[in-house]
Amino acid sequence: MKILSVNAGSSSLKFQLLQMPEEFEIASGLVERIGNKNAEFKIKFNGSSKTQSDLMVLDHSVAVDLVIKGLLENKVIASLDEIQGVGHRVVQGGELFKESVVIDDDVVIKIASLNDLAPLHNPANIIGINAFRKAIPNVIHVAVFDTTFHQTMPEESFLYGTPYEWYTKHGVIKYGFHGTSHQYVSELAHARLGKAHSKIIVAHIGNGASITAIRDGKSIDTSMGLTPLEGFPMGTRSGNVDPAIFQLMQQKEGYSLEKTLNELNKNSGYLGISGVSHDSRDIIAAAEGGNKRAQLALDIQAKRIVDYIASYYVLLGGLDALVFTAGIGENAREVRKLICDRLGVLGIKLDDNKNNSRGDKEISSDDSNVKIWVIPTNEEVMIARDVLRLQNK
């Protein structure tokens, strides 16, 4: 059975067509720079890839048409009837969605009611859902939420130290994100440990990044919060700051709330500290070339990540495995080393040779008290699994 996994962002649309239940990738790709005249469409299938550039893609429905045309014209599928289910990544499920759901009009309205809690993400997710429901109307569509996996956090983790009424009236709590990734990776780590009770920390470090403490397969704390801005510095996001920054920047620079928030989301992290780039490859190259601010960007991030790991070590009462995943966690050995070299006091020890090799692997030294693994994430497979599960219900 063929199932399509869709991840619609504000200006991009990623997709993967999977053969299920085998979990085999038939095709994948993305449309980038939606809303522009120079959009790009990439599709990979059968070991080859094709790119179309300088396309006029003014909205997500045009992007959806491109994806469907790409699948048909490249004979990945003979007709749309072959697609028997579509899974949609939705960033914010709030407290309304404790698990993945089959999408109907009522679900779409409920997702839209959470727009205030994820203004950069949920509206784009909804546009993707609507466009695909229109294009492929007669199959099951399922919403899979980034927040669901973190619904097991206890109150002391998810409540802020803010007035309680902010929670009851407006849902001001920590929701956490990247849930499908943390779940996918921690399930594999749990199975590898081969014991009933496990203590795992997953470091999902990509452009967006978060860390989760997982006890016996359940999230008990995570670094992202009400929005994906909380936590440690990322590609362009600041992570935690003192909220009094808003007043200071208003006084000093005349910044509105929106302007400061935008700076914290889009011009901070690697990009803001280094002034070089948001991309870890550029930052690592610049740091190796002697650029002090690029090195500082890496050091600040590593320091803050270690703060989380240390606090989750205490929360979990020890640790069986530390797992790195996502673009940087899987590929940037330099970032992993900067982090692990600060963890020796906890008996967490990296093997430099193993760390330098590629792929899914163990990178801890033989005398490490804790396993350190690199495990590639696969959010698309998690989404497709939920489509299959709900279809069979």
By the criterion CB under 6 A, which residues form the site for ligand ADP? Answer: 206-208, 235, 279-281, 326-328, 331-332
Nearer to ligand ADP, 7 or 198 (CB): 7
Beta bridge partner(s), residue 25: 18
Residue placing its CB nearer to ligand ADP in the complex, 328 or 388: 328
The whole-angstrom separation of Cα 247 and Cα 250 is 5
Indicate the DSSP class of residue 224. Answer: -
DSSP letter (8 states) at residue 350: B
Contact yes or no for 234/329 (Cβ under 8 A): no
For residue 197, the minimal CB distance to ligand ADP (Å) is 30
Q: Is 216 one of the annotated active-site residues of the chain?
A: no
Q: Which of 81, 146, 307, 341 is catalytic?
A: 146
CB of 235 to ligand ADP, least distance (A): 5
CB atoms within 10 A of CB 132: 26
Beta carbon of residue 382, minimum distance to ligand ADP (angstroms, whole number) = 14
Q: Minimum CB separation from ligand ADP for residue 110, in Å?
A: 25
Provide, rounded to whole angstroms, the least separation between the CB of residue 46 and ligand ADP: 23
Least separation in angstroms between residue 279's CB and ligand ADP is: 4
Beta carbons within 10 angstroms of residue 295's beta carbon: 19
Nearer to ligand ADP, 209 or 316 (CB): 209
Residues 187 and 217 sit within 8 Å (Cβ to Cβ): yes
Measured CA to CA in angstroms, residue 221 lies from 201, 210, 369 at distances of 10, 11, 22
Shortest Cβ 226–ligand ADP spacing (Å): 18
**Range 279-288 burial, b when 16+ CB lie within 10 A, else e:** ebebbbebbe
CB 18 within 8 A of CB 5: yes
Q: CA 85, 393, 147 angle in degrees (round to 5)?
A: 70
Q: Are 200 and 190 in contact (CB under 8 A)?
A: yes
Which residue is closest to ligand ADP by CB? 327
Name the residue nearer to ligand ADP (CB basis): 207 or 311. 207
In the numeric block, which tokens belong to residue 387? 């489509």
Residue 26, both tokens: 């038939």
Q: What is the DSSP letter of 37?
A: E
The nearer residue to ligand ADP, 65 or 282, going by C-beta atoms, is 282
Opening angle at CA 8, ends 322 and 179, nearest 5: 25
Closer to ligand ADP by CB, 137 or 289: give it. Answer: 289
DSSP letters along 241-280, please?
A: --TTHHHHHHHHH---HHHHHHHHHHS-HHHHHHSS-SSH
SS3 365: coil
Task: Report the residue number, 25 or 279, with the smaller CB distance to ligand ADP.
Answer: 279
Closer residue to ligand ADP in complex, CB, 32/386? 32
Whether 249 and 238 have beta carbons less than 8 Å apart is answered as no
- What order do you get walking across the sheet with 218-222 strand by strand? 218-222, 209-215, 199-205, 321-325, 371-374, 361-362
Closest contact distance (angstroms) between CB of 210 and ligand ADP is 10
Annotated catalytic sites, by residue?
146
